Structure 1
Amino acid sequence: MSTLIPTPVRRVVPFEGSGLKQVVAELTDEIRELYLADEVPWVVGYSGGKDSTATLQLVWLALKEVPVEQRKKTVYVISTDTLVENPVVAAWVSQSLETMRQAAVKQELPIEPNRLTPEIKDTFWVNLIGRGYPAPRPKFRWCTERMKIRPSNSFIRRVVRRHGEAIMVLGIRKQESQSRARAMAKHEKRRVQERLSPNGNLPNSLVYSPIEAWSNDEVWTFLMQQDNPWGHRNKDLLTMYQSATEDQECPLVVDSSTPSCGDSRFGCWTCTLVEKDKSMAAMVNNADNEMEWMEPLLSLRNKLDVTGEEEHKLRDFRKMNGSIQLFDERIVHGPYTQAAREDWLRQLLAAQSVVRQLAPEHVRNIELITMEELHEIRRMWVFEKHEVEDSLPRIYEEETHESFPGRPLDEHLALGAGEIDLLREACDGDDLLFTTARELLEVERKFRTMTRRSGLFEALEKTVKRGFFDGKDDAHAHALNKKKLREEIADRLPMTLTEDEDTADASA
């Protein structure tokens, strides 16, 4: 049985009785020593939250005490914006990065802020509305790797390629959770230096976590008593955390039973990996309705969280490649249908229009979905999913009452709008027949312009197989029949082998 590493008990007396000034002095001395020890560049992870802010402040304070001529090593600050971050937090981080950039230049510090975003093919809406991936679940968590890990890892790998190695400075703490404490304890055993742990995911990179032993309250003590060195007010950060707490309370801690401030976790407003987005719900209901403008986002997030039969109605009974997959004789549903994807886009654009009308000035021009994402979704719908109606510009114009800034694709399509209507009418309400015929015509158009038509028959055959069924019930019955035949063959196969062996023995 594995031994659980308990989360450290919160200390009532901050910093175990040491004064804040002493604690900060000792840590900044350590940071300066590590900074000057070699030429390996640093990469500081910055989310705009309390832990990463405290960590960056310590690094900043330490570097200010380094003579200018010795500030030769770049400290890269990276902040990953998934493009679906809580908009209040996203605005805070964006403003902080710009303030940080200006302050670093003015103070002659080698600190370089970087805002990272996922590639267009990896964004939330391109995958959900474009490809039709269902909202993320613990067993299909397609979002974190694409939207958060890849952008930061790509940046760190570039730094490693340029310099040979890198040191990551992170605001991780053992008191965050038992799993975090276990992971940090595991890496501590493999430390190459007293405070540097190996990074299990990225070669040639080490991890330094200066506030790893701090409690939640110690982080806030530091932030409230130490001015932010790049000029972004920490009291505003506290206000943001207060607004994300149901009772808005951040009490003075007098014993271990007193609730702590700032336990709220900010993340993507679209996240369906949690049962409820408590921080956004609190923001909408708190702060004298100052953040009520985010209610359309919370409403859309809750709609994305649909499960069971209601979700099945939104998803194709076939997988992305057209196959039928079973689990305990039940169909495992595939991507969102065309109708569902179009409806998600409508709801998203409608929410964006409402938010832009209600939001305060500093987020008035918020983009819940970027124009680049819309162009990529349009391309996917038309050229990968063969939805040649090209419905995205029409949906955009109906929901935003603005013209879609993209050129017509009609000259590239097999059928125009009029012919599409005729084809749908000819299919007499059979949606599966319509989509199959539409895809067959698009496949023919695609190969028509090629000098060599190698692969045409395979593409046509694949399309026919996808639309082979009369509907979901027919597909289900067909899959069950195939499963039954496979099981019968598997049951007979060992017997056949035994009979063959008996025959061979008799012959011998």
Structure 2
Amino acid sequence: MSTPTRRAAPFEGSSLDAVVAELTEEVRELYTADEVPWVIGYSGGKDSTAILQLVWLALKELPVEQRKKTVYVISTDTLVENPIVASWVSQSLETMRLAAEEQALPIEPNRLTPATKDTFWVNLIGRGYPAPRPKFRWCTERMKIKPSNSFIRRIVRQHGEAIMVLGIRKQESQARARAMAKHEKRRVRDRLSPNGNLPNSLVYSPIEDWSNDEVWTFLMQQANPWGYSNKDLLTMYQGASADSECPLVVDSSTPSCGDSRFGCWTCTLVEQDKSMAAMIQNDEEKEWMRPLLDLRNKLDVSDDSHLRDFRKMKGNIQLFGDRIVHGPYTQQSRETWLRDLLEAQTWVRANGPEEVRSLELITMAELHEIRQLWVFEKHEVEDSLPRIYKEKTGEDFPGRPLDEHLTLGADEIDLLREACEGDELLFSTARELLAVERRFRTMTRRSGLFEELEKSVKRGFFQDKEDAHAWALKKKQLREEIAEYLPLIEDSKDEENADAPA
């Protein structure tokens, strides 16, 4: 997402007015050609702002009676966006909504968020997913693709079809240019390309041939029609290092902020968050973001095996070569991440400027979901989340007490830990067995109890990590020996069959 780097001679010598007039006329022709609703992807960045301005300007020139179909503006908030950008986009959407009403334009802004079960903190702190990596990018699908695609599919179900208006440009990257050229060959109507991932939807990219400098020329010389400041947008860009814009993500081929400046502040798909670091360095008023940057850097460790269970999520042991592939974060690690997050949130609320005094780094809905996961799926029946919340915020957790039949008090946990004599694996297994039995205790029919107990025993079967590693290596060796001798056994059977009398 870069700022202008040279004085541009834009649009191949055509005047800005001529280029805008030609494009807005094209927009009007496409808009009035059918009843198919439009969906504009808006990230708050320069490219999406430019296309929304073009559509807005085009619709203003139409008679009111021709402004028939809705233009849905969608912006996906992952709930871990850079707080400065998230605030910018939220305010822009509200300003946009009011301006559209005043100007009688059928433009409907929508802020989309992932389902609570799909958020970053619910998966990392609740389920224990390790911080995202290029080979385990669990965040993109859940936090970006699903919310936008769900909205678009709903529009398609209601209207039979939808047209996506996106600020994608060929100059963003060679890969983007190749992908756009491929779709361009398959265009079913003028300027409309098929969307390979969303049936019954087409893509319109009005600024696909614009350069970076041409986008900025347009934004700096054309007033924002919904009353937001494009100069403030430029200032926000200048406050961080040059890079790529975070686009609306509707499929796995779209770059998902991993190389972008303004993406998720928790992103570990890049070596460092240059944008947040630059913001803090360039503006002392943004020093309040320092705890966020510190937490992000703490998440981003090259070898986090000491933070993760040696077993996978279901308790199995997985090898890569001869070494163990570690599974989810341990209970201790997840509790530490929660403490660090709540501590950062509490510090920002107490020491940040007035506009961030109510900042939510994690929502109450996410905390409730994490609590449920810890107690009912992880069998961590000591129910430690309310205690951690009180410890780090100084306030009582506002959640209702869980079923007393499913939780254990501090005294009971201490007795169990004492009985296990410091053996953490034995403690967690015994605790899980107790949790399973207590859960089935209140059921009229206890069908399935023994199966659940057996799963718990299998998960806690090993003495320690070294024992599990040795067992997995032995199992691997046996499989290799069987694979080696199986062809010999088959050949022997074939020989016996050949010698048998007809």
Deviation per CA, 1:460-498, whole angstroms, max 9, x where unpaired? Answer: 000000001000000000000011111111111000111
Q: Aligned-pair distance for 1:359?
A: 2.5
| Mapped pair 1:406 → 2:399 | yes
Q: Secondary structure at the match of 1:290?
A: helix
| Mapped pair 1:149 → 2:149 | no
Q: CA RMSD in A?
A: 1.5
Matches within 5 A, 1:263-278: 265-278=261-274
Unaligned runs of 5+ in 1: 1-9, 248-262
Tell me the TM-score normalized by structure 1: 0.93
| Mapped pair 1:48 → 2:44 | yes
| Mapped pair 1:63 → 2:56 | no
Matches within 5 A, 1:192-211: 192-211=188-207
Matches within 5 A, 1:65-464: 65-245=61-241, 265-287=261-283, 289-308=284-303, 311-409=304-402, 411-464=404-457
Q: 8 Å contact 1:284–1:294 — kept in the other structure?
A: yes
Unaligned runs of 5+ in 2: 1-5, 244-258
Q: 8 Å contact 1:244–1:279 — kept in the other structure?
A: yes
Inter-partner Cα distance in structure 1 for 2:429 and 2:131 = 26
Q: 8 Å contact 2:405–2:439 — kept in the other structure?
A: no
Deviation per CA, 1:348-367, whole angstroms, max 9, x where unpaired? Answer: 01111122223222222110
Q: Secondary structure at the match of 2:404?
A: helix
1:136 partner amino acid: P
Q: 8 Å contact 1:85–1:267 — kept in the other structure?
A: yes
Change (3 A) 1:414 1:356: closer
2:291 partner amino acid: P
1:338 partner amino acid: Q
Tell me the TM-score normalized by structure 2: 0.94
Aligned to 1:474: 467
Inter-partner Cα distance in structure 2 for 1:346 and 1:72 = 51
Q: Aligned-pair distance for 1:12?
A: 4.4
Deviation per CA, 1:124-149, whole angstroms, max 9, x where unpaired? Answer: 00000000000001111100000000
- Residue correspondences, number: 482
Change (3 A) 1:410 1:38: closer
Q: 8 Å contact 1:246–1:286 — kept in the other structure?
A: no
Inter-partner Cα distance in structure 1 for 2:491 and 2:411 = 64
1:102 partner amino acid: L
2:469 partner amino acid: H
Q: 8 Å contact 1:245–1:264 — kept in the other structure?
A: no
Q: Aligned-pair distance for 1:454?
A: 1.3
Deviation per CA, 1:28-50, whole angstroms, max 9, x where unpaired? Answer: 00001100000000000000000
Q: 8 Å contact 2:114–2:147 — kept in the other structure?
A: yes
Inter-partner Cα distance in structure 2 for 1:440 and 1:62 = 65
Q: Aligned-pair distance for 1:403?
A: 1.2
Change (3 A) 1:246 1:56: closer
| Mapped pair 1:489 → 2:489 | no
Deviation per CA, 1:207-245, whole angstroms, max 9, x where unpaired? Answer: 000000011111111111111000011111011001113
- Between stretches 444-453 and 222-231, larger displacement belongs to 444-453
Deviation per CA, 1:240-262, whole angstroms, max 9, x where unpaired? Answer: 00111389xxxxxxxxxxxxxxx
